[in-house]
Structure 1
Amino acid sequence: MRQGPERRRERREPVFDGAEPTDVGLRLSRGDRAGGAMARPGRDEERGRRRRRPRRRSLVGRLVSWTLVVAIWGAIGVAAILAYHATQLPPIDQLAVPKRPPNVAILASDGTLLANRGETGGRTVSLRELPPYLPNAFVAIEDRRFYGHFGIDPLGIARAAFRNLTSRGVAQGGSTLTQQLAKNLFLTQERTASRKIQEAILALWLEHRYTKDQILELYLNRVYFGAGAYGVEAAAQRYYGKPAREVTVAEAATLAGLVQAPSRLAPNRNPEAARARAELVLAAMADEGYIRPEQHKAALLEPAEPRRRAGAGSANYAADLVMDVLDDFVGTVETDISVKTTIDPGLQAAAERALTEELAQKGTKFGVGQGAFVAMRPDGALRALVGGRNYAESQFNRATSARRQPGSAFKPFVYLAALEAGLGPDTVREDGPISVRGWSPENYSRDYRGPVTLRDALALSLNTVAVRLGLEVGPKRVVQVARRLGIASPLQPNASIALGTSEVSPIELVGAYAAFANGGFGVVPYVIAEVTGPGGKVIYRRKEGGLGRVVDSAAVAAMNGMMRETLLTGTARRAEIPGFEAAGKTGTSQDFRDAWFIGYTGNLVAGVWLGNDDGTPTKKVSGGNLPVEVWSRFMKAALQGTQPVPPPNLGAARVASASGARGRTANAQPDPLGEFFGRLFGD
């Protein structure tokens, strides 16, 4: 039969490819149910193999799968990169915000700011001190989602990346305020991927450690505004001459726009660019609701105008003096402090104006390029200090650091020594030729008057009489008197000291004359009245005091009368001030290298020096011309509206007899015993 072999072959076929008997039975029963008869073994095997072969995934499925794989490996890579750069930073538990360098705010006697000293250029301010629109200006233009992100703003980064790509360059940054603060506190300004990663890590740490307001306050006190100004207080003072709490909306917008590029957007250097940037900031502030429409309109109509000559005024000379002596009172400065000085802003401006105007008008004609001015109360409190004609061009303080020959301005110490030795204003001495070991001093006029009183000799500044008196009392006695009144510079006890050949500084010479103005009490010129720290805590406050009495009241009366005569009939007649009785002395060094005038009333003592830094002779500038003009111009402004106070005991000096300050005769000689001890112990 034809079917027989087929059946035999069927029986010889192996059982389904290793299937268990139960599987075969199960499959047969399924085949019976499906078709009523068992399918041929070859076809069933093929069907089984098709069932076990996995289905091929769709394209979308494969993309999702690969995206997931790449995301996992990307996350691992990012974590590894973050971990690596984190290891380049100090351990998180050791991180701390660096202390801001301390600022020294130097204030005038009325509390107004004269200058800031320190690395930052301004003190630290708190958010509560500032008008709300000032910090909001920075938020509006630099980081609109500042209060919503966690230190890093993914939307901001994406937006910045898109704009940078579409503009084919770096058009916008994606850093948040927190990231900028992290960079300013911990990192350098280099533009590298490594720095940006570390910046992000540190931003997350800052957000974890501080509140948003604390971060914003830190940012406002650390961000750089150019011109050495760090923080909004320094920037407000630098560009607008006012504290940050007083800036207008327009000024706030300008400051906020400035941080993007301080050198390019500085309002005093590029006002057009600064104004354009400020308009963008104002628009952002208006969009965020930080300013009202009328404020926006007003700020556009009245844009901010920077202060001219910011930081270049003569008050900086006084500020420099403060910094020179501050350590003696408070030691090392570790926090922001305020130093209240004795400087009067009005008098400081008057002194600067008097000196600079005189040099501008006559400096070229008379060949004089520099000057210094010092004014103080009779107790030594400095009221004005000008160390040169232009602080921006030269910071050398000629009022405190330059030592020049005072010429005849030194003679009051010679005459005071003579009075203390027993002579009087009406004592007569010979004005005639004199020779001291081959040295023959002459008068300015090169003529001689014969017998003259000491009063006239001082008023007319006769050199021969001064030299005779110096030799009579002894050069060491002259040095001793000058030291007692406050001259600290080295003095040579020789015959020429009577003509002021030893160099002194303007501030110590004016300080020595203060003893005549206050009735005979020595002073130490001072500029610091009080120092306060954070919260107004008083660190130092000057106490009243001085050197005590250094000149007998009778001798003071005599000296004041003699130096009063200098303004009435002597070399300083141009210095007379209507309504005020003043006294003083002119001085001119050899070859007209230095010209001085020191004058005083009972209210104020002031001194002027004019000359050239290199010591070259002027074109006959003497103490009686340009210095007197500067002094008179200042004193008329300084004393306006004040009650006239004459030099002490001036009335007694007018009626003093020829017996001198101590009742001696006109021709009395020095006390031999006193001279002996003076020569024995020197100065």
Structure 2
Amino acid sequence: MIKIKHFLLKRWKRLSIFLILFLMYFFSLPKKLFNEPTSTVLLSKNNELLGATIASDGQWRFPELDSVPYKFKHCILQFEDAHFYKHFGFNPISIGKAFFENRRAKRIVRGGSTITQQVIRLSRKNKDRTYTEKLKELILATRLEFRHSKEKILNLYSSHAPFGGNVVGLEMAAWRYYGLRPEQLSWAESATLAVLPNAPSLIYPGKNQIKLKDKRNRLLEKLYREAIIDSITYVLAMEEELPQKPYQLPTLTQHFLQEVKKEHEGKRIISSIDKFFQKQVNNLSKEHYQLLRQNEVHNLAVLVLDVETRKVVAYVGNSPTDTKHQKDVNNVIAPRSTGSTLKPFLYAHMLQSGDLLPTQLVKDVPTDIAGYIPKNFDLRYDGAVPANEALTRSLNIPAVRLLRQYGLQKFLADLKDYGIKDINQSADYYGLSLVLGGGEASLWDLCKVFAGYAGTVNHYETLKHNYYTNEFQEPSYLLNSKVDFGKVQSNSTKIDAGAAYLTLNTLTEVNRPLSDQAWKYYDSSQKIAWKTGTSFGNKDAWAIGTTSKYVVGVWVGNSDGEGRPDVTGIGSAAPLLFKVFDVLPKSKWFLEPYEDLIEENICTESGYLALPICNKVMKRIPKNGVRAASCPYHLEVHLDNTETYRVNSNCFPTNQIKTKVEFVLPPLMAYFYKQKNSDYTELPEFLEGCNTSEKRVIDFIFPVKYKTKLSLTKGTDGELNPIILKLTHAKPDAKIYWYIDNQFIQQTTDYHEVPIKPANGEHIITVIDDLGNEQKRKLIIH
């Protein structure tokens, strides 16, 4: 112990110097050799290149390779460093030969650097090749050999070597000069790229062809001499042509690539995109764009999601248009007016809550709610229409009335729970127009909700009648990421399987485009739940559909918001939707979630829970459907023995009264309903002398509200246009007497319409029928 201590004290200076030198050597190499920015590289799920962005320094430099392909590895070793696996960072024999040859020639005619030294030189930005710099490279090369394996060093060289112009690294060079992945290169192609880093500024594909070919062939000859390739391979390789001009990188998903770059700049991303389907969807989109542009519609977007994995399958952010027409706008994520695309969600939630039954009649009559007057697309009224038909026909008035019944605030909360990010204002901001396109959403978010509905139904069976807590998950585009659907529980957090299934099933009945209307008659056809939407002013056309396997969403319009005639969901977006579904694998329809539905007797005519007096049919409805109302439209009426008149015990012998069940709608609903339903019959009149206390035999069509503000407009001739007062009466041939401010103006029979031109101010409109029934309305003219 004493001897060791004496030894250390005697030689402490030498030891200190040695320690300092060792530490300097140990820390001489930066922790990270290369800090240059790299390209963002997007790959398909099969590891095929979809696209890439140039690095921020203007170089095409892909992220480092994981491994060097076999052919290029042998080529680069034979050309640059045949003893790579034998030396420890430098080759003294090569250095010596290079020194004497360069001295004799009085210029650099030969290099003695190993691949390891070249890695160091590249990391030091190719500083001047002085003897001092050579010494530094030699020291750092030995340090690099301590740090990394030979394979890693070879990877570093292949990833950072220059290949001419602004091309850096083997992978980019392979794409740029041959349009191939590095592992797909032939021996001749690998040999060509192997000689490029030696003199990238002198030898460039398309130029200096003789020098380039000579270098390549000498390398091929050496490969043959070393028995790395056989004679046949050698002869065939010598005959291969050199690359003449650079290839363009794939641009299959440009808008998607820009979105990926925002989160993963400079990284190599393996996406969930299926390159085969992406190409097909691109081609279909291009063909559809050529049709749209004839109507000066220049933009579109398509998104395809896998329901099971919630991964992106195909992504088209825009049409192949030009800068003038906003080609760079990503319409998959751009918020647009939703049109009618939110209607299925309202229908589903009302089914779930028990506020609505699938075939229940809902009102479709002129409606004025606090000054908001919704109109159907065809400007017509059905009077009464089954709820499921109102959805498939996308009728606006029933949707608005149902939203008012369900609650605007509650529906808005449902949409926010779904994660529709752009619907972020208060209920007062949107009003009841929310369900008709008063709010904005992106194609991404709407497809996400449809996928959530499909997933809810699918998972109900796989989870043995349970639900995930996070079913409405953000879709993912990363192949190796796993979507977290959350925990499993017995109750749904947003929509239950029964309501979701009934809604999706209803959406299969939406009328398809003319080219696809006979789909039910073909065995090869598949059921698709889909919905269209058209925003106000024909600015946005939507079509979104789902099967049990895929969700497809299409948006069509102009990115600058310009509306165009005939731009509609059914005419502009739906044809592309079904073409995309045609190229996707067919899938079976959803399994019906029997355990989440109950059977109840439903009135065949009204769709409400059946009364004992109704004609009924057994149907499956959501569990909360038992809370729904019973049929209000079937009445027992008393008739005389000829069934010609209605009677009562006050005016007709009791033993001669016949009782009959009739389907009776309120006058306003009946007025429009019978125009489309010729089999609807009015109630018989009362026998003369029979008293009745029935109410509301008179119903105004316009104005609907008791108090209405109006302005008289002028026609093209400068004259004031009249206001047309309209009403309907339960008795077809009733006489109606019209009064304005207690002054009689007209009598009507059959068609009760009266034009008036009242002066500014308040006026009371009074109508009285020949039985004494009376109704009033107040008009305020300004």
TM-score (norm 1): 0.67
2:555 corresponds to which of 609, 625, 630: 609
Map 1:387-406; keep pairs closer than 5 Å. 387-389=317-319, 398=330, 400-406=332-338
Quote how far apart the aligned CAs of 1:610 are.
Answer: 1.7
Q: Which residue of 1 aligns with 2:276?
A: 346
2:476 corresponds to which of 527, 533, 545: 527
- The change in CA–CA distance for 1:621 and 1:529 in structure 2 (over 3 A counts) is same
Answering whether residue 251 of structure 2 is matched by residue 312 of structure 1, we say yes
Answering whether residue 587 of structure 2 is matched by residue 627 of structure 1, we say no
2:302 corresponds to which of 366, 373, 384: 373
Amino acid of the structure 2 residue aligned with 1:525:
E
Answering whether residue 349 of structure 2 is matched by residue 417 of structure 1, we say yes
Q: Which residue of 1 aligns with 2:651?
A: none
Amino acid of the structure 2 residue aligned with 1:510:
C
Quote how far apart the aligned CAs of 1:628 are.
Answer: 1.3
Contact 2:473 2:485 in 1 (8 A): no
Contact 2:272 2:313 in 1 (8 A): yes
Answering whether residue 229 of structure 2 is matched by residue 283 of structure 1, we say no
2:439 corresponds to which of 493, 496, 502: 502
Amino acid of the structure 1 residue aligned with 2:538:
F
Amino acid of the structure 1 residue aligned with 2:561:
G
Measured in 2, the distance between the counterparts of 1:351 and 1:389 equals 11
Partner-residue secondary structure (3-state), 2:293: helix
Measured in 2, the distance between the counterparts of 1:603 and 1:498 equals 27
Quote how far apart the aligned CAs of 1:222 are.
Answer: 1.6
Contact 1:182 1:199 in 2 (8 A): no
Measured in 2, the distance between the counterparts of 1:397 and 1:562 equals 34
Contact 2:303 2:554 in 1 (8 A): yes
Amino acid of the structure 1 residue aligned with 2:294:
K
1:121 corresponds to which of 62, 67, 81: 62
Amino acid of the structure 2 residue aligned with 1:372:
A
- The change in CA–CA distance for 1:478 and 1:203 in structure 2 (over 3 A counts) is same
Answering whether residue 134 of structure 2 is matched by residue 200 of structure 1, we say yes
Partner-residue secondary structure (3-state), 2:336: coil
Partner-residue secondary structure (3-state), 1:407: coil
- The change in CA–CA distance for 1:637 and 1:274 in structure 2 (over 3 A counts) is farther
Quote how far apart the aligned CAs of 1:665 are.
Answer: 4.0
Amino acid of the structure 2 residue aligned with 1:200:
K
Amino acid of the structure 2 residue aligned with 1:408:
S
Map 1:486-635; keep pairs closer than 5 Å. 486-492=419-425, 493=427, 494-520=431-457, 522-527=471-476, 531=480, 542-543=483-484, 545=486, 549=492, 550-567=494-511, 573=517, 578-635=524-581
Q: Which residue of 1 aligns with 2:174?
A: 236
Segment of structure 1 superposing worse, 290-299 or 245-254: 290-299
Quote how far apart the aligned CAs of 1:219 are.
Answer: 1.9
Measured in 1, the distance between the counterparts of 2:537 and 2:201 equals 48
- Give % identity: 22
Q: Which residue of 1 aligns with 2:662?
A: none
Contact 1:177 1:219 in 2 (8 A): no
- The change in CA–CA distance for 1:582 and 1:204 in structure 2 (over 3 A counts) is same
Amino acid of the structure 1 residue aligned with 2:542:
W
Answering whether residue 236 of structure 2 is matched by residue 298 of structure 1, we say yes
**CA offsets 1:89-115 (integer angstroms, 9 cap, x no match):** x96554215344589876544555656
Partner-residue secondary structure (3-state), 1:596: strand
Measured in 1, the distance between the counterparts of 2:366 and 2:184 equals 68
Q: Which residue of 1 aligns with 2:377?
A: 444
Unaligned runs of at least 5 residues, structure 1:
1-89, 328-332, 532-539, 670-683
Quote how far apart the aligned CAs of 1:151 are.
Answer: 9.5
- The change in CA–CA distance for 1:228 and 1:501 in structure 2 (over 3 A counts) is farther
Query: Which structure has the larger Rg over C-alpha atoms?
Result: 1
**CA offsets 1:369-428 (integer angstroms, 9 cap, x no match):** 222221122242322222223599899573553111121112212322333351123222
Amino acid of the structure 2 residue aligned with 1:461:
S
Partner-residue secondary structure (3-state), 1:471: helix
Map 1:2-401; keep pairs closer than 5 Å. 94-97=27-30, 98-100=32-34, 108-110=44-46, 112=48, 114=50, 120-126=61-67, 129-131=68-70, 133-138=71-76, 149-150=91-92, 153=95, 176=113, 180-187=118-125, 194=128, 196=130, 199-210=133-144, 213=150, 216-225=154-163, 230-237=168-175, 239-240=177-178, 242-259=180-197, 270=206, 277-278=212-213, 280-287=215-222, 289=225, 291-303=229-241, 309-314=248-253, 317-318=255-256, 321=259, 341-359=271-289, 361-379=290-308, 380-389=310-319, 398=330, 400-401=332-333
- The change in CA–CA distance for 1:364 and 1:399 in structure 2 (over 3 A counts) is closer
- The change in CA–CA distance for 1:265 and 1:424 in structure 2 (over 3 A counts) is farther
1:426 corresponds to which of 351, 359, 362: 359
Q: More strand by proportion, 1 or 2? A: 2
- The change in CA–CA distance for 1:518 and 1:259 in structure 2 (over 3 A counts) is same
RMSD of aligned residue pairs (Cα, Å): 4.5
Measured in 2, the distance between the counterparts of 1:262 and 1:502 equals 57
**CA offsets 1:543-596 (integer angstroms, 9 cap, x no match):** 554797321233223312321111469999598784211111001112222111
Measured in 2, the distance between the counterparts of 1:509 and 1:501 equals 15
- The change in CA–CA distance for 1:655 and 1:567 in structure 2 (over 3 A counts) is farther
Quote how far apart the aligned CAs of 1:181 are.
Answer: 3.2
Contact 1:106 1:115 in 2 (8 A): yes
TM-score (norm 2): 0.59
- The change in CA–CA distance for 1:125 and 1:199 in structure 2 (over 3 A counts) is farther
Measured in 1, the distance between the counterparts of 2:98 and 2:327 equals 47
- The change in CA–CA distance for 1:307 and 1:563 in structure 2 (over 3 A counts) is farther
Measured in 1, the distance between the counterparts of 2:632 and 2:110 equals 89
- The change in CA–CA distance for 1:325 and 1:416 in structure 2 (over 3 A counts) is farther
- The change in CA–CA distance for 1:309 and 1:151 in structure 2 (over 3 A counts) is farther
Measured in 2, the distance between the counterparts of 1:94 and 1:541 equals 40
Answering whether residue 404 of structure 2 is matched by residue 463 of structure 1, we say no
Measured in 1, the distance between the counterparts of 2:156 and 2:495 equals 57
Q: More helix by proportion, 1 or 2? A: 1
Unaligned runs of at least 5 residues, structure 2:
1-22, 56-60, 458-466, 609-620, 634-782
Q: Which residue of 1 aligns with 2:583?
A: 637
**CA offsets 1:326-353 (integer angstroms, 9 cap, x no match):** 79xxxxx9xx8x7654433333333222
- The change in CA–CA distance for 1:283 and 1:470 in structure 2 (over 3 A counts) is same
Measured in 1, the distance between the counterparts of 2:566 and 2:599 equals 34
Segment of structure 1 superposing worse, 410-419 or 643-652: 643-652
**CA offsets 1:61-98 (integer angstroms, 9 cap, x no match):** xxxxxxxxxxxxxxxxxxxxxxxxxxxxx965542153
- The change in CA–CA distance for 1:620 and 1:653 in structure 2 (over 3 A counts) is farther
